[in-house]
Amino acid sequence: MLKHLFSPIYIGSMEVKNRIVLPPMTVGYGVPDGTVSEKHRDYYEARARGGVGLIITEAASVHAQRKYGLFPLGLYDDAQIESWSNLAKAVHRHGAKLAVQLMDPGPESIMMLTGIQPVGPSPVAGRGLFREVPRELSIPEIKSIIADFAQATRRAKEAGLDAVEIHAAHGYALVGSFLSPFFNKRTDRYGGSLEARLQILLEILDAIRAEVGRDFPIIVRMSGDERRTGGRTLHESQFMARILVEAGVDALEVSGGTVPNVFWAVVPPSGTPLALNAEFSKAMKQVVDIPVICVGRINSPRIAEFLLETGRADLVSMGRALHADPELPNKAASGAFDDIVPCIGCNCGCIGSVVRGMHATCTVNPAAGNEKEMTLVPAKKRKKVLVAGGGPAGLEAALVASLRGHQVFLYEKEQRLGGQINLASVPPFMQEIGQLIKYLATQAEKAGVVLNLGKAVTPELIEEVKPDVVIVATGAAPLVPENLPGIEQDTVVTAWDVLAGHKASTARKVIILGGGLTGCETADFLAFPPDNMAAAPTHVTLLEMRDDIALDSMAEPRHLLLDRLREKRVEILVRARVKEILADGVVFDRDGRDEELRGFEYVILAMGVRPVDTLSKAIEGRVQEVYVIGDAKHPRRALDATAEGAEIGRRI
């Protein structure tokens, strides 16, 4: 069925067994000496075992003093070769090929971590979080960096790796910044025209070839289109690609966007176009005769097959999809599509954790990064387990417990599973989140979990079922401040009410109290500017007591969300603390002065949530083991809910 996806292909002298690539993704499992840690090795071997054709590891630094992040991988010292050799052996055991992405972070090197000023083509600061001005590199220093790449490649080859990839994308890091007209202001041979900005990459390629020969494959990652005004366009990238082929590049991995200006396109979140760089990779295929790898929100094997079949790419990078399910290739090859863990594009556990300096995790795959520690082990004693609540926490706990051999009964008071996910998937561009519940419910049934819908768990039910273990996953409820004057007004509803279908969703003018992610997504759902005369407009005013809105969102979807709120003319008032709700509006304090807003049909509360757990105390002493997890314990993200569910399912 997927004949293109599972056909072999050559990249230079390297034969890859199928067209699925794990692209370089920073996962944060590094150690101070830059060697490949055991956690790294377990992570990559799990994906090799799962059937991927080619693994390209996260970026490895080529210079000891310029490192990417806290504890990056490194290939700047011969002492690191042995750990890479061990990784290569682990990956090769399963028939996969292994490459490493080589990077000098250049301007992205963080001075507060290294104590050394970052370097770059010119003393032009980027727009990253640290915004440090790099020191302009001299020509002798450039030559030294070129040699660093060559020596790192030599080490990769000696370790038994099959290829290297040079990071030259997104106007980012050293090579990317040299290619960028925004950061490269040089007037010597390394700056000015596109050909001159490309010169450092060409010299890196020449140096690598001189060191390891023509037969060792080199891949270059590049942006097909930088997606920003003044950035490199697609036809310029095509021109650049032809030059790279002439210089001996064996494959191109085509991305898009820039960091950080168009970061959402570099790591596209839920709601952005699937395979959003496919037309870029197709355009590259029109001008080069080497394999072209497409990367960017290719999250299902059927979409991957479509890209290959229609000539948009020769291989497909499926990074977050393989992070979510390392067994994706094997499952796809056997036709077990319903068993594939779906990437929902939330970016919470992968990108979101790493940018906070933590290990990458995954909302839909709590075992990501803990493959060895979270191997499912059969329970020593089979127990009767009752799970109260069918949201992500309860479903994950029920699934894991059942897979371990327990007898599991899950009760959900509503007529459908999903809990808050059912509401979270309603706002625009959020529908993919619902895949999590579909997957968990399907797998729970297959595992033998008995699902009971429309039935709340009570002490009486506990007495009837007589479980050995009760897992309380009863979720949360909207926070309604009882001491707020006017809260009892009939025109006051919650964001949950609106997303569940309350008639307030048809109002022409509403005010939302709370500018967190729930409030902002509700505003996105409701707001409609008056430009379209065929549609009824809805004006939304959003009040937030902090200095900014959507601060609890991931960076990539937040960028797009705020753009939409601006386009829909949502009126946003920050530093506004509500003092009273009126029949048609609110009184609020802003910068020490009372203000009033009137003329609204509804006041919508999005002021947070509170845990719901009346069960654990009511059954105290009646059941041997009782656990409270997810929002019932403390309201947080779905990432935390599934993690706790997985933990409890393994513990009991």
Cβ(296)–Cβ(268) below 8 Å: yes
Give the torsion through C-alpha atoms of 213, 219, 225, 226, to 10 deg.
-90
CA nearest 185: which of 260, 226, 134, 131? 134
d(CA 238, CA 285) in angstroms, rounded, equals: 9
Q: Which residues contact 617 (CB under 8 A, 6 or more apart)?
A: none
Number of residues that this document lists for the chain: 652
Calculate the alpha carbon distances from 74 to 63, 65, 222, 407 in Å. Answer: 8, 11, 21, 47
Residue position matching structure tokens 């700047």: 76
Residue tagged 């007037």 (tokens): 187
Torsion-angle region of 369 (φ positive above 0: left; ψ -120 to 50: alpha; else: beta): left
- The beta strands (E) that lie in 382-466 are given as 384-388, 407-412, 450-453
Judged by phi (left if over 0) then psi (alpha if -120 to 50, else beta), residue 542 lies in beta
DSSP string, 323-338: HH-TTHHHHHHTT-GG
Contacts of residues 75-82 at CB distance under 8 Å and 24 or more positions apart, as own/partner, are 75/34, 75/100, 75/102, 75/152, 75/155, 75/156, 76/34, 76/148, 76/151, 76/152, 77/34, 78/155, 79/33, 79/35, 80/33, 80/34, 80/35, 80/36, 80/155, 81/155, 81/158, 81/159, 82/35, 82/159
- E strand residue ranges, 370-475: 384-388, 407-412, 450-453, 469-472
Contact 56, 165 (CB under 8 A): yes
Task: Output the six-digit token pair for 416.
Answer: 């459908």
Closest CA to 420 of 610, 614, 626, 616: 610
- Dihedrals φ, ψ of 358, to 5°? -110, 170
Placement of tokens 């507060």 in the chain = 112
What are the C-alpha distances in Å from 121 to residues 41, 170, 179, 184, 232? Answer: 35, 15, 9, 5, 17
Q: How many Cβ atoms from other residues are within 10 Å of residue 229's Cβ? A: 6
Alpha carbon distance 598, 649 (integer Å): 51
| Distance, C-alpha 360 to centroid of its chain | 9
Provide the edge-to-edge strand list for the sheet that holds 585-590: 576-582, 585-590, 593-597
Q: Taking a C-beta distance cutoff of 8 angstroms, is the pair 102, 204 a contact?
A: no
- Name the strand (E) or helix (H) holding 429: none
Sign of CA dihedral 142, 146, 152, 155: negative
Catalytic residue (choose from 43, 172, 190, 439): 172
Active site residue 172: yes
In a 13 Å sphere around the CA of 438, the CA atoms on its Cβ side amount to: 14
> What is the rounded distance in angstroms from the CA atom of residue 9 to the CA atom of residue 142?
35
**Active-site annotation, residues:** 172
